[in-house]
Structure 1
Amino acid sequence: QSPGDATVTPPGGQGWDASVVTVRFPLHKLDLKGGVGSVVTQTCPSGELMPDGGAESGTRPASPSGHAEGAEADYANGAAGDPRTGTALRRPGGRAPGRHPEEALVCADEEELNNGPLELVASRAQQDMLCQRPQLLLLGSLLALRSVLSQECTKYRVSTCRDCVESGPGCAWCQKLNFTGQGEPDSTRCDTREQLLSKGCAADDIIDPRSHATTQEDQVGGQKQLSPQKVTLYLRPGQAAVFNVTFQRAKGYPIDLYYLMDLSYSMLDDLINVKKLGGDLLRALNEITESGRIGFGSFVDKTVLPFVNTHPEKLRNPCPNKEKECQAPFAFRHVLKLTDNSNQFQTEVGKQLISGNLDAPEGGLDAMMQVAACPEEIGWRNVTRLLVFATDDGFHFAGDGKLGAILTPNDGRCHLEDNMYKSSNEFDYPSVGQLAHKLAESNIQPIFAVTKRMVATYEKLTEIIPKSAVGELSDDSSNVVQLIKNAYNKLSSRVFLDHNTLPDTLKVTYDSFCSNGVSKVDQPRGDCDGVQINVPITFQVKVTATECIQEQSFVIRALGFTDTVTVRVLPQCKCRCRDASRDHSLCGGRGSMECGVCRCDAGYMGKNCECQTQGRSSQELEGSCRKDNGSIICSGLGDCICGQCVCHTSDVPNKKIYGQFCECDNVNCERYDGQVCGGESERGGQTNLWSLSRPCGGRGLCFCGTCRCHDGHEGSACQCLKSTKGCLNLDGVECSGRGWCRCNVCQCDPGYQPPLCLECPGCPAPCARYANCAECLKFDQGPFAKNCSAACGETKLLPKPLPGRTCKERDSEGCWMTYTLLQREGRDRYDVHVNDTRECVKGPNIAAIVGSTVAGVVLVGILLLGIWKVLTHLSDLREYKRFEKEKLKSQWNNDNPLFKSATTTVMNPKFA
């Protein structure tokens, strides 16, 4: 609760159980666009209303835009009115003189609330529910008020009234002449209504077009179940237009019922019963409506493997019992067009024969798609359409056709030839979503009459297909008549309100207020269950555009019913300003006034068209107002006038924008304690003249993003008192000369450690650099011996050792000297203490080293030769022994093959 906001009090100091409460609010803040929120309206002047004289006070109705008519409100621009209080209701049939022609109003006490038929201003169907619960009424009203009062205006680069309207639903435009001051941009004219009023803009100078709805056609009664029939909406971006749609279920509404039956062999006994029940089906329809028609169709499956047996003999008679007369399998056959002749129905159904297939699932979705896609062939009228789907098994769906090499997706079109679906083997089964869309498009409500084991499966299917029902079918379909009656009552007692597909720029939501007291808010579609005949229910429709749209239309329908609401949508983005006369004198004779802003003629520019371009293009002039090619004009914080930036004045108190390109201001600096450049100075916590004279609160000034601190303060945000007390070492040197003091804390050079920058653990010791000075100062020798005082003037020789860095380096004579370096203030400043003794090591005997080396090399060579000789001898000995061994094994022939003996012996055969 705050000044100007709504307050709620019980009347006469009564407790909260009172039947009437009072809601007070400023009328100019009330921006309720009809609907539930408008139950909070204003108290009627005494004796103003009601020919029945039953009320002591009356109420003023809310206009379609949500503003009260009696407050002299400008409907198009949403002008303000006077504060009033109360609770408004109306009684249909009466009319208050001088008031809204469609409303007859009374201010109700407790008795009238209970007697009815009263209704809230926004919605007559909600009276019973809300009047019985005043706390709920009050809560809904306050929530609606809170939503309105919390609207803000977020603007960016606004220069025209249309830009302002498109910036957001909370923005309004002031068309008052000379409303902006020197340096103020035209965007100052765009703000919330409250801000513009506070800045001195009169209510009749405020342009604030609102979204609203206008009823074009509204016929009630007869066979019209949905009203109104035509509505025109004027939509402002981001602001919803609200209107009510009433559905009243008519008694005896005409019905078309198409019975689609599975004729696979397992449905044999069901077919026999359906043949007997044909007359009963139509009689059951006539109990519900005076105009009922019935049709019949049947299905099996696609006639390709693996769905049916394609053997020629099986195609002729697919039944397992060859003696049984069966018909060939088929996808879908339309047997009987919708008719009111029960005898014809019974005759045609009586001619049907059972068929058969192979797999368990059937081609039912194929058949349903054709029933929905062929309205002329089926004979559908523009009435309630029921499709009874009777089967005892599941169904094939999209993708199953690939098993039979059918790859073309279902096109959702009618393909009946001679009442047969002959293209079944060319198109795949439809998907469930595709079928659901087609059924909804054709306003067909399916009733799945299935056996007990399939109920769960088809209940899942009804979750996807809207306005569908499932009934448990007995094994022989004997209960099909009662099943259809129950399913119809279930379907017709539930109403879904939905719309066709819309572009992304339009959003539609529904609030459902059902006759059973159930309410649903901000739903993607309306939904009420338990709807009774001749009992109206109300849906509140909210349509919002995200941007200025083109003229378009869409249709709202109650699923399963033929009634529709045609909604025509028009943009509400234009500003109707008074200065349409284009008086050139207001702009120096060089332009015309549009909504309080000058639109200059060619060759002129400026707030009052005072700048002549002198042949330069606007791009050239704007180029001199840019910091670089990638920046925006005047940093977005000024106007380019004749090639120079004129910076805007800021809405932020004490903020100044300046600079050549308006790139600087005096507030965008670092903050300390929530204040620019340190906030207020600590002087007893009170503001004085000293602090007021300093825009940054006494600590510093903000200059183009940088704080310039006053004496006594320092830091990036002037957050510190200027002092070095905490930065002095024992010798009084600030940060030991190895850093700087900021905010009384040492900022040490890299490597040195706070708090006083005394040590640098990670820094390398400069031992080698001070070795010559140590030798010179201590032993008076080395490279610096002749000019030791000049070369090592800043280095002192300490008589006593002190803590420091110990070094060990070799001097010019090759001796090791040990010394300690003690760092003084600053960087690279050391004193040295050198030990008195050095470690001098005698040089080695070169001759002995060389001789022993040579001797060693010779001895090693001789040893290696000896080893080589021994190894060679052993190898030769082993080879010789092997030769001897082979020699002993050889056998030599003693005869010389070339030798010829001198003796020849001849044998006489007789004496042999």
Structure 2
Amino acid sequence: MTSWLLAHGSSVPLCVLLGCVVLAVCAEASSGGTSVCWSPSITSCAECLRRGPQCAWCFKEDFLRGAEQSHRCDLSENLRRRGCDPEFMEQLETKVEVNATLSSTQVSPRDISITLRPGSEASFIVAVKQLEHYPVDLYYLVDVSASMQENLDHLKTVGVALSLRMTEYTSDLWMGFGSFVDKPVSPYINVHPSKINNPCSDYEIRCRPAHGFHHVLSMTGNMTEFTRVIKRQRISGNMDTPEGGLDAMLQAAVCQGAVGWRPEAKRLLLLMTDQPSHLALDSRLAGIVVPHDGLCHLENNIYTGSTKMDHPSLGQLSDKLLENHIYPIFAVEKQQYQWYEELVDLIPGSYLGKLGLFHAPNLIELVADAYKTLLSEVAVSVSVEDKAVSRFWVSVSPLCPDGSTAKDQRCSGVQPDQTVYFNITIGQHSCDDDGKDEDVTVMVRPVGYNESTVVRIHSKCRCNCGTMGRCHDDDQAPCRGAQHGISQEPRPDTMKDSDPSRNCRADGSNLDCSGRGVCECGRCVCEQSKLGVVFGKYCEMDDFSCLYEGEVLCGGRGVCSSGECVCVDGWTGVSCGCPTSTASCQSSNGLLCSGRGRCVCGKCVCDDPKLSGNFCERCPTCQSTQKSTCKSVNCNRSHGLSQKEAEHCKTCAPLIDNLNDVSERVSSRRLVGTFLSVCALTLLCGLVVVAVSRLLLQKRGRSSGGAVEDGGYHCTGKDLSYIPTTNEKTVTYRRDRPPDRPVEMHIQVPKMPLGDPWQC
């Protein structure tokens, strides 16, 4: 449309011309000339894909030849429309692959591989099944400071009774034991030589030395052995009120080999204390500033890192409990309940029990209730590697057995053999600063379960291809079209032509790159236009300067080259809107346009203006000139016609049929006209007869009644005295410049004498 206006500008007002050009530019922009993906600053595939998950990069060697690199980045549908096949596109590729070879009884699947790019996301389902009568490992971690003396005595009878009580939930209960006090350094303990080995020397009681954590008994199913070990335990002592319970909990969780946690068992870690615990950074009081490394530091079952590393943070402790599939249970006295109540909210899968006294029955019911509650709540924790936690996001949506969707990412009231489904979505924000591909591991851990799902994310931040270099791009060899079966042209830098610009000129042209680009390294780099894209080997092609057909350049059936549409096979015309096939012009007799015309753009154009019809089969005015010719041959004969006569009859048949149709229509019209004429003449004659008859009757009536005197007519029944003899009227008038007073005239108009004839 724009090119047509420019060609006919002399007959079009300038304002209309400029308006149409603006509309054409706007239409091109709205139809995909620009998109959220395209930007003139984009010069590589990686930059393109960072624009969003919908963007794609075309690395086809001859795609839009000569166009700027930025035009290789666009929506995938726009690239396909411009001739880039899907196999030449680098685009968002999200894959989710499940490794079904790993068996599982509680959590499935066990292993998932995901491929992500920045801006993309992937979803998968993790199923968690609650089993019945599962093996249970219970580890007692007891505060043995002096204030716990009475509570420690109550533990001596708890082993056998607890084993009997837990038979309701499991037939395989193993128990272990460990103790803690606090870090054995000042100011937590008294470092006087007489107090180090016996903190209770002032009370003449033999106590154990203070310790951060002492692993006493590994997991065992022998309840007699458990009771024997408990009976041998003695208390210790320290200076300050808080204890080192969280520090000891971390060691009991991570030292799996020493503690003897069974891989197939539910793991319960029971902390018994009557005081709050130290938190991270508290160790600075003792000059300890090294953060805890989260590892096991046991030598001869004694925690050796207690005097070297700080207390663990709540986040670190929570991660280690989840990582090792451990349910923490806090058994505390009423005075410390509020402090631990705020603590357990920060540790997933934990349970808090309030005890007035640490008697055996109370402890047994606490453990049984905690186990039952913890098993009925199913939740998952998703953790990303620290190095990549800022570049990924995670969303968890559980579907509970009752069909509800929990808001707090956990399901309660889950019964044995029921399954909870977690819909987990992982998305990638960005790549690392160096832009390299990386592999990231994400752990999906059902809280308290000894099985988990490993999600391996392959983050693609680089493209298989890269920038399409113009002079030296050996490093981009994987991007070039030759690997996909496209023959490459000789490289410009290896050509021996003395004039490198010669390769940028079309045959017969003296302009480099058709005047719409610059020649670099023997190749045309086309200019950027606000109207659209300029491309081609010599920048001779574009997507805006040709005529549009159905709002699509060249009707979508050709390419625009040098301002003209070059149509694909089967189409022709200035806008590729005309099919070259003549099948639509063949008449019923098999001839093209009945043998009397040409097929132009799929329609018949008759040779004679007298002809009409879709196939030039009609000629109402041809009767006088061709009727005799067509009737010269007796086409009604069934035999004896020569080949020439048969062809003649075949040509004349439509005309004779048409003439017969016309004759029949003319005869019908004449018959109707004659009938209407007779009706009109009859009606007219009737009216004349009626008029003459009336005149004769009036004349006869006047003769019988006497002549009318003077032809006058007298009014009767009226008193004629009221009729005035004259009509008087006074008229006052003024001149344009009247005198001192106006002039009055008196006029008398005589009336008709009474004796004159009067018509009422």
TM-score bracket, normalised by the shorter chain, equals: 0.5 to 0.7
1:574, distance to aligned residue in structure 2 (A): 6.0
**Do structure 1's residue 533 and structure 2's residue 416 form an aligned pair?**
yes
3-state SS of 2:99 partner: strand
| Counterpart residue number, 2:236 | 355
Partners of 2:80 and 2:524 in 1: CA distance: 32
Partners of 1:378 and 1:367 in 2: CA distance: 12
Distance 1:306 1:169, change over 3 A: closer
Partners of 2:45 and 2:282 in 1: CA distance: 59
Q: Deviations over 1:440-494 (max 9, x none)?
A: 3333221111111211111222233222221112223441121122222333313
**Do structure 1's residue 212 and structure 2's residue 95 form an aligned pair?**
yes
**Do structure 1's residue 509 and structure 2's residue 395 form an aligned pair?**
yes
| Counterpart residue number, 1:481 | 364
1:325, distance to aligned residue in structure 2 (A): 5.6
| Counterpart residue number, 1:647 | 527
Report the TM-score when normalising by structure 2: 0.53
- Any gaps of 5 or more consecutive residues in structure 1? 1-150, 577-590, 617-635, 667-912
Distance 1:338 1:192, change over 3 A: same
3-state SS of 1:217 partner: coil
Q: Deviations over 1:666-721 (max 9, x none)?
A: 9xxxxxxxxxxxxxxxxxxxxxxxxxxxxxxxxxxxxxxxxxxxxxxxxxxxxxxx
| Counterpart residue number, 1:392 | 274
| Counterpart residue number, 1:491 | 374
Residues 446 and 452 in structure 2, CA contact (< 8 A), matched pair in contact too: yes
1:224, distance to aligned residue in structure 2 (A): 1.9
Matched AA of 2:448: G
**Do structure 1's residue 269 and structure 2's residue 150 form an aligned pair?**
yes
Q: Deviations over 1:248-275 (max 9, x none)?
A: 1222232221100111222222112111
1:557 aligned to which of 445, 470, 475: 445
1:183, distance to aligned residue in structure 2 (A): 6.2
Partners of 2:423 and 2:303 in 1: CA distance: 43
Matched AA of 1:168: G
1:597, distance to aligned residue in structure 2 (A): 8.8
Partners of 1:453 and 1:559 in 2: CA distance: 29
Partners of 2:401 and 2:310 in 1: CA distance: 44
Distance 1:480 1:600, change over 3 A: farther
**Do structure 1's residue 566 and structure 2's residue 454 form an aligned pair?**
yes
Length, aligned pairs only: 472
2:250 aligned to which of 369, 385, 388: 369
Matched AA of 2:528: H
| Counterpart residue number, 2:594 | none
1:421, distance to aligned residue in structure 2 (A): 3.0
Partners of 1:159 and 1:612 in 2: CA distance: 29
**Do structure 1's residue 301 and structure 2's residue 189 form an aligned pair?**
no
Partners of 2:322 and 2:68 in 1: CA distance: 54
Partners of 1:377 and 1:247 in 2: CA distance: 29
1:342, distance to aligned residue in structure 2 (A): 0.7
Partners of 1:532 and 1:200 in 2: CA distance: 59
The 5-angstrom pairing of residues 36-75 of structure 1 reads: none
Aligned-pair RMSD on alpha carbons? 4.5
Partners of 1:243 and 1:340 in 2: CA distance: 39
- Compare relative contact order (CA 8 Å, sep 6+) and give the higher one, 1 or 2: 2
1:463 aligned to which of 320, 345, 354: 345
Partners of 2:50 and 2:199 in 1: CA distance: 69
**Do structure 1's residue 252 and structure 2's residue 133 form an aligned pair?**
yes
Partners of 2:305 and 2:102 in 1: CA distance: 44
Q: Deviations over 1:545-580 (max 9, x none)?
A: 43572345443322322212233334667679xxxx
Matched AA of 1:494: V
1:215, distance to aligned residue in structure 2 (A): 1.4
Partners of 2:324 and 2:205 in 1: CA distance: 39
Partners of 2:246 and 2:498 in 1: CA distance: 73
Q: Deviations over 1:95-120 (max 9, x none)?
A: xxxxxxxxxxxxxxxxxxxxxxxxxx
| Counterpart residue number, 2:164 | 283
Partners of 1:317 and 1:552 in 2: CA distance: 51
Residues 177 and 596 in structure 1, CA contact (< 8 A), matched pair in contact too: no
Partners of 1:266 and 1:193 in 2: CA distance: 73
Matched AA of 1:539: F
3-state SS of 1:336 partner: strand
**Do structure 1's residue 171 and structure 2's residue 55 form an aligned pair?**
yes
Matched AA of 1:335: V
Partners of 1:643 and 1:602 in 2: CA distance: 10
Distance 1:595 1:161, change over 3 A: farther
Partners of 1:508 and 1:363 in 2: CA distance: 34
3-state SS of 2:269 partner: strand
3-state SS of 2:455 partner: strand
3-state SS of 1:532 partner: coil
The 5-angstrom pairing of residues 38-117 of structure 1 reads: none
Partners of 2:78 and 2:204 in 1: CA distance: 92
1:353, distance to aligned residue in structure 2 (A): 2.1
Residues 307 and 357 in structure 1, CA contact (< 8 A), matched pair in contact too: yes
| Counterpart residue number, 2:426 | 543
2:260 aligned to which of 375, 379, 394: 379
- Any gaps of 5 or more consecutive residues in structure 2? 1-34, 466-479, 502-515, 545-760
Matched AA of 2:383: H
Distance 1:282 1:615, change over 3 A: farther
3-state SS of 1:347 partner: helix
3-state SS of 2:347 partner: coil
Matched AA of 1:282: S
Report the TM-score when normalising by structure 1: 0.45
Residues 650 and 656 in structure 1, CA contact (< 8 A), matched pair in contact too: no
Partners of 2:384 and 2:355 in 1: CA distance: 34
Partners of 2:304 and 2:481 in 1: CA distance: 71
Residues 155 and 167 in structure 1, CA contact (< 8 A), matched pair in contact too: no
% same residue: 33
3-state SS of 1:482 partner: helix
